[in-house]
Amino acid sequence: MHDQTAQIGGTFPGIKIEAAELRIVSLPLITPFVISTGTMTDKTFPLLILKGEGVEGVGEAVMDPLPDYLEETIPGAMAFLTDVLLPAVVGKTFRSPAELLPILDPWRGHRMSKAVVEMAFWDLWSKALGVPLRDALGGIGDKVAVGVSLGIAPIETTLERIEVAQAAGYRRTKLKIRQGHDLALLEAVRDRFPKIKLTVDANTDYGLIDMPVLRAMDAFALDYIEQPLAFDDIHDHAILQRSVATAICLDESIRSAVDARKALVAEAGRVINIKVGRVGGFASARAIHDLCEAFGVPVWCGGMLESGIGRAHNIHLATLRNFTKPGDTSSASRYFHRDIINEQLETSDGYMPVPLNGPGIGVTLDRAFLDIVTAKREEFRA
């Protein structure tokens, strides 16, 4: 490899993306994950490997098979990546991830598809530089605080799951809610766990017409209510935030730094959940992070039930200094019997160690297992 100090000093010649490998991977979930928009029984995702000059960068895309979280779908992403994005980057040399943006930005939407290309290149680039992704991004520390996200289940089951999460030291409990599965749940949870750091995530299930229910949540000392209103809305969240004491946290409705600016100016929320896949990559995630910091708004790193590759990217991102609230990157073993990486991403007392087992994302693909769980594989060469 090259001398990293010389490279950081500005003489880095760039790295050529010689080839790309795009897979569809499917991992069964240990327990079905239920949210207001539907139930997931397995985690299916596009995995992108960019190959350049003896190094490989890996990214995991977060769109669902069907447009139930946001509009992107796996079939749409595969077509866009195959027909447009990968032919545009394979065979080209880039000196930094920012040099990819003129290729990605002109296209409308498709932020999750753009993100997987950009994220895989950040991994490739930081490996070529010989530094952890954390350092390339400008993060600090060797562990990040995390909580659990608990899917919709009978109240008794949820109480048991909270017990388990508390025993493991998780720093925050997020309960998925939907209309009719909200106040009674919160009463039961607060009755049993009066002091825990608690949040709820509605995944867009409510409207302003549900103001009485959302206001009633003020009684439960929630750290925030995540995405109560529509996925494409900022305006109504601003009305809601003026009418409830609890902080609103935006997830689905923030897809770019421009969205974040509008939400911050409108005071549509007091917390933002940053998912690097949702917002189109690390450049956008950092811009949102910086903007929130300037507005005095804390952020935290969300998740999409990613495998070890996506989780590693999330953990490195969460080392940026305004990620002051616990993120969603809990132990991979809560979701999967076996991961596609060789390392184990497990928390200790509610902290996830930053994978620093080498440069880049700091984790490595378990190729043999990856082949078993790969449903489709395509190669791209210049």
DSSP state of 260: H
Residues 75-94 that bind ligand OSB (CB under 6 A): none
Pairing relation of β-strands 19-35 and 374-381?
antiparallel
Our finding on whether 201 is near Mg ion (CB under 5 A) is yes
Of 151 and 362, the one with the shorter C-beta distance to Mg ion is: 151
> Which positions from 151 through 190 interact with ligand OSB, judged by CB under 6 A?
none
303 touches ligand OSB (CB under 6 A): yes
* Residue 199 in the binding site for ligand OSB (CB under 6 A): no
Selected from 198, 299, 305, 320, the binder of ligand OSB by CB under 6 A is 305
Task: List the x/- string, 225-264, binding to Mg ion by CB under 5 A.
Answer: -x------------------------x-------------
CA distance 138 to 136: 6
Closest CA to 346 of 360, 363, 359, 358: 363
Residue at shortest CB range from ligand OSB: 303
Nearest to 25 by CA among 59, 52, 68: 59
Cα Rg for the chain, rounded, in angstroms? 20
Is 139 within 8 Å of 355 (Cβ atoms)? no
- In the window 242-261, what residues touch ligand OSB (CB under 6 A)? 251
To the query of whether residue 176 is one of the catalytic residues in this protein, the response is yes
Residue 136 Cα distances to 71, 148, 256, 281, 296, angstroms: 31, 27, 21, 14, 24
345 binds ligand OSB (CB under 6 A): no
Q: Which is nearer to Mg ion, 134 or 237 (CB)?
A: 237
Q: Spot the catalytic one: 51, 114, 174, 275.
A: 275
Judged by CB under 6 A, the stretch of 21-29, 50-58, 90-98, 302-310 that binds ligand OSB is 302-310
User: What tokens were used for 170?
Assistant: 């998780």
339 touches ligand OSB by CB under 6 A: no
Per the CB < 8 A criterion, the answer to whether 259 and 212 are in contact is no
Q: Which one from 176, 195, 197, 325 is the annotated catalytic residue?
A: 176
Instruction: Specify the residue, 149 or 158, whose C-beta has the smaller distance to ligand OSB.
Output: 149
Stretch that binds ligand OSB, among 79-87, 164-172, 215-223, 298-306 (CB under 6 A): 298-306
**Chosen residue from 52, 139, 302, 326 binding ligand OSB by CB under 6 A:** 302
Contacts of 364 by beta carbon, 8 Å cutoff, 6+ apart: 341, 342, 343, 357, 358
DSSP string, 310-359: HHHHHHHHTTSTTB-S-BS---GGGT-SS-SBSS----BTTEEEP--SSS
Tell me which amino acid residue 20 is: A
Shortest approach of Mg ion to residue 68 CB, angstroms? 13
- The amino acid that residue 33 corresponds to is F
**Closest distance between Mg ion and the C-beta of residue 227, in Å?**
5
Stretch that binds Mg ion, among 65-73, 76-84, 201-209, 258-266 (CB under 5 A): 201-209
275 noted as active-site residue? yes
In whole angstroms, the minimum distance from the beta carbon of 166 to ligand OSB comes to 17
State which H helix or E strand residue 44 sits in. strand 38-52
Tell me the residue number closest to Mg ion, measured at CB. 251
Report the alpha-carbon angle 216-221-225, nearest 5.
65
* 139 lies in the site for ligand OSB, by CB under 6 A: no
Which backbone phi and psi does 134 adopt, to 5 degrees?
A: -50, -45
Name the residues annotated as catalytic. 176, 275
Q: Which parts of this chain interact with Mg ion (CB under 5 A)?
A: 201, 226, 251
Q: Which parts of this chain interact with ligand OSB (CB under 6 A)?
A: 35, 69, 149, 201, 203, 251, 302-305, 328, 330
